[in-house]
Structure 1
Amino acid sequence: MRIDLHTHSTASDGTDTPAGLVRNAREAGLDVVALTDHDTVSGHEAALAALPSGLTLVRGAELSCRLEGVSLHMLAYLFDPAEPELARERELVRDDRVPRAQGMVRKLRELGVPVRWERVAEIAGEGAVGRPHIATAMVEAGVVGSVSDAFTTEWLANDGRAYVEKHELDPFDALRLIKGAGGVAVFAHPLAAKRGQCVPESAIADLAAAGLDGLEADHMDHEPATRARLHGLAADLGILATGSSDYHGSRKTCRLGEHTTDPDVYAEIAARSSGTEPVTG
């Protein structure tokens, strides 16, 4: 059983439509896929409508958080999307995305980068605009060779020259909201140092004590030693360890199913949820 619990569609910053993503997931040999767009559930309906036979869809979202100045992401699975408090916070984060992205474009232009906001908005389309859309415009302008190359301190990394902060949840509040909506919470790529500063392991332990369900250990931005460390840390804390691709379509090099989650871990995630259930085509 092949299970990928972290993917993105055009509802946020992926390049596959939600319908295309589930079709591609089945063609890639996946049995279970989670759609976890940034701070939005707008792709869920289309993904469900196109769900291929034999593929199970886990509905989720990747929530933007910040702890003591450090940006981090929380994967929320199988929560009730209509729960009002969590829905309101998702909306606040989404509403801040446009002025934030416009601010980063302004900074890039001040640095001599010929990126236009109109082009970034065109690339984002109906999706929640984010840094990968800006990075794509930078690739088109010949400033960087790939989207990943834009995520450095020179440009768009968390401490980069063109970085602009956005509205983000306190992760402890995020846990409370996810749990209140019947969901399950997993810390996304917690030690991906190439993305910028990471929270210390002591903070991860505090989150585990506050109800964090798991850590995304197997991820393209974790070296083998880091993956092993995270599996050990999850075991020490008595929480789950997951694996996933963080697929963004053609915008990044990761492939669907590049890393996967153990079936027993997936079964435990499904058992802990009370907001929604996985749906099988």
Structure 2
Amino acid sequence: MKKIDLHSHTLISDGTLTPNDLVERAKAKGVEMLAITDHDTVDAYEQLSPASYDGLKIIPGVELSTQWRGVGVHVVGLNLSLDSASIKEGVARQEKARADRAQIIAKRLTKLVGPIDFNRVSEIANHSQIGRPHFAQHLVELGVVKNTSTAFKKYLGDGKPGDVKQCWAELPNIIDWIVKAGGVAVLAHPLKYKMTWTKRSALLDDFIAAGGRGMEVVSGQQTKQETDRLARLCVEKGLLASCGSDFHQSSQWSDIGAMSAFPTVCKPIWLDW
């Protein structure tokens, strides 16, 4: 089976590699089909050099943030038209939401730990999209926490003061932008959401009702039991199956193309690409 990675990030959002460096690393790791799915932006594609693809099939993509019943949820849009008016509108709205969200996070953290240097946070984010990982790194620099993991546990993780969800567009809007751009909406990393399997099933029902057609049955390294359970849910809901490393930076467990085995019972989302 081909090595396919349909969920990855560059430094345009919260990854560490440039778009072209990510492509080079994907090729070096044997990836044959790649989607760059930066958070709420498609700017990475403007920096890619088509001459560098060299046999690597690039699938245009994006990861859009939203919420469902108060839980932060991510939807990946795949194989969409980057020139579509709908995706340009959606990205512009999400970029404003992300900028507003960053200001709210900064104010909340200031009340808890003291002054936050917003210009420094922007520098950490390479003057691009500001996200929670950039605030986490700044808290480490300030000596507030020892590492970014602790920053999330105390200040930025789910349910913590720095977890701001109310800025995002609603789930049906997110999916509509993707569909109108000719893409396929995919529920990203279902196991990352803190919810019961009953709620996860209800989320998928609402996702499908709004026009969603796929789900990630493999997100990075999972146990076979986790993958099998997601595969059963995917088949039960009649969804197409996707997979991705959710790559942000190189490590033993989260490198580009490093994923658990794809379940054969599922219909791959990329069959017609």
SS of structure 2 residue aligned to 1:151: helix
TM-score (norm 2): 0.87
Distance 1:260 1:182 in 2: 29
1:278 alignment partner in structure 2: none
Q: Work out whether residues 2 and 260 of structure 1, in 8 Å CA contact, stay in contact via their aligned partners in 2.
A: no
Relative contact order higher in (CA < 8 Å, ≥ 6 apart): 1
Distance 1:265 1:219 in 2: 14
Q: Work out whether residues 113 and 143 of structure 1, in 8 Å CA contact, stay in contact via their aligned partners in 2.
A: no
- 1:157-236 matches, cutoff 5 A: 157-193=157-193, 196=194, 200-220=200-220, 224-236=224-236
Query: Per-residue displacement from partner, 1:166-201 (whole Å, max 9, x unpaired)?
Result: 5212222222221121101110012214xx557531
1:258 alignment partner in structure 2: 258
Residue type at the aligned position of 1:183: G
The structural deviation recorded for 1:77 is: 0.7
Which consecutive residues of structure 1, in runs of 5 or more, have no partner in the other structure? 271-281
2:48 alignment partner in structure 1: 47
Change in 2 beyond 3 A, CA 1:239/1:10? same
Residue type at the aligned position of 2:95: R
Change in 2 beyond 3 A, CA 1:201/1:162? same
Q: Is residue 100 from structure 1 mapped to residue 101 from structure 2 by the alignment?
A: yes
2:156 alignment partner in structure 1: 156
Which consecutive residues of structure 2, in runs of 5 or more, have no partner in the other structure? none
The structural deviation recorded for 1:96 is: 2.2
The structural deviation recorded for 1:267 is: 3.0
The structural deviation recorded for 1:157 is: 1.7
Aligned pair count?
267
- Higher mean C-alpha displacement, 23-32 vs 202-211: 202-211
Q: Work out whether residues 96 and 166 of structure 1, in 8 Å CA contact, stay in contact via their aligned partners in 2.
A: no
Distance 2:250 2:136 in 1: 13
Q: Work out whether residues 93 and 166 of structure 1, in 8 Å CA contact, stay in contact via their aligned partners in 2.
A: no
2:8 alignment partner in structure 1: 7
Report percent identity of matched pairs.
Answer: 33
Residue type at the aligned position of 1:125: N
Q: Is residue 16 from structure 1 mapped to residue 17 from structure 2 by the alignment?
A: yes
TM-score (norm 1): 0.84
Change in 2 beyond 3 A, CA 1:215/1:145? farther
Distance 1:47 1:231 in 2: 33
**Aligned-pair RMSD on alpha carbons?**
2.6
